[in-house]
Amino acid sequence: MSGGHFLVPELEKFWRTDDGLTAVERAAAYGIDLSLIEDNLRLTAAERMERNEAALALVRSLEKPLECDAGA
């Protein structure tokens, strides 16, 4: 199922759940780093949100010089 949106067939197959894989196996096959999820599950929801803020702040700090370059 892809809701009318298109993915290359190699990725489209990951929507299926009748592939004989467990969900963890399917996520790993897709390339998801399961250790990140394990790390997250050790945190509270509030701590996960704070990590998101920190990651966002880093992304914004990296974007700023790029925006300046684009405007130059």
Q: For the chain, first and last CA: distance in Å?
A: 44
Q: CB-side exposure of 46: number of CA atoms within 13 Å?
A: 0
Give the residue with the Cβ less far from another protein, 36 or 72.
36
Q: Taking the complex as a whole, how short is the minimal distance between the CB of residue 67 and another protein, in angstroms?
A: 15
Q: Rule CB under 8 A: which residues touch another protein?
A: 1-7, 11, 14-15, 17, 22-24, 26-27, 30, 32-34, 36-41, 45-46, 48-50, 52-53, 55-57, 59
Give the residue with the Cβ less far from another protein, 57 or 67.
57
Give the residue with the Cβ less far from another protein, 46 or 72.
46
In Å, what is the CA distance from 61 to each residue of 5, 37, 54, 71, 72? Answer: 32, 25, 11, 16, 18
